[in-house]
Chains A and B, each alone.
Chain A
């Protein structure tokens, strides 16, 4: 099986986009999951709804909202460009943003469940031993939630890898810049004789997904083993 240069570019780009989307959104996802799991505040239902919105909205709508907000003329897009030179529209960074937004609800959900399953009495015990809230989080909550965080990250990575609707709406399908595995398969299905290419990339998708799943399994096992060696 040989790949065309465009296909290889698309594969690397997909990996880059999914990795960036996962890593960049993970700290925020952990923070939001902790807020939803452990704190009561005004507007909690609103935050919860906002986080889950990409799960229920048509991806095209999410992509279009990103285009309006983060595009060249969008208020947030313009502000980010002016202040820090960050540009999303029709760049791979935009694809990563779209993937991160689409994967966010899944990641937050997995981490929130992990945090909710931790006994708050352990956190209370840590605070009586002198740990400030932020240290309680760092030394008790976070390490105990690691299996859930890992599961959430893998889930997010898989979702980001397969994201199509929001990405193509927001940053289009430009070979070498925003064309991922998913959008190039779509391109192949739009031209006569594209089947061979579509099948090649489909196989790659399956392989990456399998590797990600097995890697997470291995990682989880290693963490458990390490934890029992302490």
Chain B
């Protein structure tokens, strides 16, 4: 994957000015809270339209404000794992997982339903309602749901930040397996050095709305 972005975004007093070219497969965006990491992901997802800029993924242009191009979120083929799960409360775990599939028939699956269920240990949860799940279970379902939407790019916004240390330790092995099993290009936002060292192939450091460095990790 080759992701190239050059974005200027002004929201109130906050200024985002990001230039980044990365190859992944797992690129961490690492920085303190308030650095603009989530805003950057939302811009990538198409949920926030930046003031100016250009985003391209491989040979596809997602955004080019100079040419008036801005794909809507549903046209970008992404899998977004939010900080807070955002599972659909009126659907069972199974229907949450399969939600994106129907909209992605034109793309090859990243993983089959059974693969995702066994990889994330979701089998005992399938018939459950989402509101009765623990935080860790919710995040596993959210990850599975994003994978099954057949994404070309995964966006993960501190998927472990809302969990306590024990839950985090429960999920990390799943993320390891995810990395090893499927080579999906991923942008992984985090402020935890430990997660970044463990999961990423390259790290972009972000501070006060700008990327201050990019380094490859040796694996």
Question: B-contacting residues of A (Cβ < 8 Å)?
Answer: 119, 121-122, 124-133, 135, 139-140, 143-144, 227-228, 230
Contacts and interface: CB of A to CB of B under 8 A. Distances in A.
A207 to B, nearest CB: 34
Contact of A128 (B45, B90, B92, B95): B45
Interface of B: 45-47, 72-74, 76-80, 82, 84, 86, 88-92, 95, 99-100, 103-104, 129, 145-146, 149, 155
Contacts of A131: 74, 99-100, 103
A130 B129 contact: no
Q: What 9 A-B pairs have minimum CB-CB distances, sorted nearest first? A: A130-B103, A129-B100, A128-B80, A125-B86, A127-B73, A230-B92, A129-B149, A128-B73, A130-B74
Given A129-B145, A131-B74, A143 B86 contact: no
27 contacts: A121-B82, A122-B88, A122-B89, A125-B80, A125-B82, A127-B46, A127-B72, A127-B74, A128-B45, A128-B47, A128-B76, A128-B79, A128-B155, A129-B74, A129-B80, A129-B99, A129-B100, A129-B145, A129-B149, A130-B103, A131-B74, A131-B103, A132-B72, A133-B72, A144-B90, A230-B90, A230-B95
A135 B88 CA distance: 14
Contacts of A230: 90-92, 95, 129
Given A129-B79, A129-B149, A230-B91, 14 more contacts: A124-B73, A126-B88, A127-B72, A127-B74, A128-B45, A128-B76, A128-B79, A128-B155, A129-B103, A133-B72, A143-B90, A227-B90, A228-B129, A230-B92
A132 B82 contact: no
A144 B100 contact: no
Nearest to B132: A228
Contacts of A130: 74, 77, 100, 103-104, 149
Contacts of B80: 125, 128-129
Contact of B99 (A126, A143, A144): A126
Contacts of A122: 86, 88-89
A7 B90 CA distance: 45
Contacts of A135: 103
Contacts of A129: 74, 79-80, 99-100, 103, 145-146, 149
A143 B129 CA distance: 15
B48 to A, nearest CB: 10
Contacts of B88: 122, 125-126, 140
A131 B101 CA distance: 10
B129 A128 contact: no
Q: Please classify the interface of chain A as helix (H, G, I), strand (E, B), loop, or mixed, using the class held by over half of its residues.
A: helix
A223 B27 CA distance: 44
Nearest to A132: B74
Contacts of A125: 80, 82, 86, 88
B57 to A, nearest CB: 15
Nearest to B105: A130
B188 to A, nearest CB: 16
A67 B45 CA distance: 52
Contacts of A132: 72, 74, 103
Contacts of B79: 128-129
A150 to B, nearest CB: 14
Contacts of B129: 228, 230
A144 B86 CA distance: 14
A126 B145 CA distance: 10
A129 to B, nearest CB: 4
Contacts of A144: 89-90
Contacts of B84: 121
Contacts of B86: 119, 121-122, 124-125
A124 B47 CA distance: 7
Highest count of chain A CB atoms <10 Å: which of B79, B92, B99:
B99
A213 B57 CA distance: 55
